[in-house]
Amino acid sequence: MTDHLFPVPEPRASVSDREATVPRVQRANRAQLELRPLDLESLLPEDHRARLVWDFVQGLELRAFYDEIKAVEGHAGRPAIDPAILMALWLYATLEGVGSARALARLCEEHDAYRWLCGGVSVNYHTLAEFRVAPLTQLDAVLTTSVATLLHQGLVTLRRVAQDGVRVRASAGGGSFRRRAGLQQCLAAAGAQVAALHAQLDADPGGASRREQAARHRAAEERRARVAAALAQLPVFEARRRKARVKGEARLSTTDPDARVMKMADGGYRPAFNAQFMTTTESQIIVGVAVTNAGTDHGQLAPMVDQVGRRYGQTPAEILADGGFVDFHDLRAVAATGGQVYAPPQNSQDPTRPQRPLWNPDDAVVAEWRQRMYTPAGQARYRLRAATSECINAQARNRGLRQVLVRGLQRVRAVVLWYALAHNVLGAARLRTAAATAT
């Protein structure tokens, strides 16, 4: 019989002080299997930027892209990836600062926004890389039709535009530039390499896989073609240097024959391209794009005005540009279209600066331009240039337009077009939202 109403529990075994302080936690078990339902539509919120890009692409006329597809209904062949998906992927990637096809292909497997845009369609970096630069004519038409739609809706006007250039680092090193003798030696070496690969294939057809053989031949042929293109461009480049009275022997790159050494924003000289944007000052929509390998902006104004006129059937009334664009022939060409140039005259009173015919006040076009720029109204209009062009250039650089990974003027122009289209995606959405709010 016990003396207690309730039994007294037995004393616990003593534990060491160290064991008493060990925390008890739930540890990760990554080997545990989980079954989760996957719904791509629920991955993104309704206001996500990827949805905005997809809506923009759905409103585009992409018939030219579909006409290039060889696989058709009722015939053999693997279905092609929808061009709308590839278009949306590159637009969204450009907005996010992704400029590599391999990086974009990885994101299509890992990132929810890119997976949502793919919609279950598998893409590879070869297809992405080819789509980015191949349809140059179609991309140019997309820019024209998208801006023309905004013009028709009254959201954009060409009353006043601003133009500026931005230097983009080329995919070529300074050490790849060779003089004529060096280019001829490189061409002979490239030809010898191609011949050696052919001989190796004939001697041992099974020595390497077909894919490896094709890759080697493609690389050798591309190098020989680049060197041959550099030699073909050399006479024109030499004549241009003689006309400009530039000393030294001309050199061109064996990596990218279209690249030229230019003075960059930081004062250094590197192989680069000159990308030109023409933008409306009121809505900041890019309406014109050009890419040249000229290291100066002289002579770039009139061609861009002419491009805008061909695109939309009307030319800008006022064109704002910095002093680097001032050129006598451009002033006359723009004046012939009815446009007025607002660009600062260079100081012609400097005794160390040679007097060129441009500063001749007897010319009516030059006199009118100089008089316009010395008025308070002209100076007030010109101040709108920095708020437009510098903003566009800064946004392009923030999105990765500092160095291109492709080679050749045409491919670089395709990349710059992607940046213009991506910029206009957000601009069009902003304008339509403002118009809907106002009504």
Q: What is the mean pLDDT of each run of 10 residues along the chain (439 residues)?
A: 62 59 79 77 89 93 87 82 94 94 94 92 93 89 94 94 94 91 89 80 65 80 90 90 85 93 90 96 95 91 94 94 88 91 72 49 80 90 92 93 93 96 94 88
CA dihedral (358, 363, 369, 374) positive or negative: positive
* 215 beta partners: none
Residues 126 and 148 in one domain: no
CB atoms within 10 A of CB 185: 13
pLDDT at 439: 74
Residues 341 and 429 in one domain: yes
pLDDT at 6: 62
pLDDT at 351: 46
> What is the number of structural domains in the chain?
3
Say if strands 269-280 and 160-169 run parallel, antiparallel, or are unpaired: antiparallel
253, 280, 309 - which closes a domain? 253
| CB half-sphere exposure, 190, CA atoms < 13 A | 21
Cα 391 to Cα 369: distance, rounded to the nearest angstrom:
26
Q: Does 5 reside within a domain?
A: no
pLDDT at 29: 81
Q: Does 121 reside within a domain?
A: yes
Residues 203 and 98 in one domain: no
pLDDT at 382: 93
pLDDT at 9: 64
Of 59, 126, 43, give the one whose Cα is nearest residue 91: 59
| CB half-sphere exposure, 223, CA atoms < 13 A | 18
CA dihedral (24, 29, 32, 37) positive or negative: positive
Residues 219 and 166 in one domain: no
Residues 333 and 355 in one domain: yes
204, 231, 253 - which closes a domain? 253
CB atoms within 10 A of CB 86: 24
pTM for the whole structure: 0.86
Q: Look at the block and give the residue holding tokens 């550099």.
A: 230
Q: Does 7 reside within a domain?
A: no
Structural domain including 432 reads 136-172+258-438
Of 281, 278, 267, 286, give the one whose Cα is nearest residue 302: 278
335 burial level (CB within 10 Å; 0-12, 13-18, 19+): middle
Residues 342 and 385 in one domain: yes
Backbone angles phi, psi at 319, to 5 degrees: -120, 120
Residues 196 and 151 in one domain: no
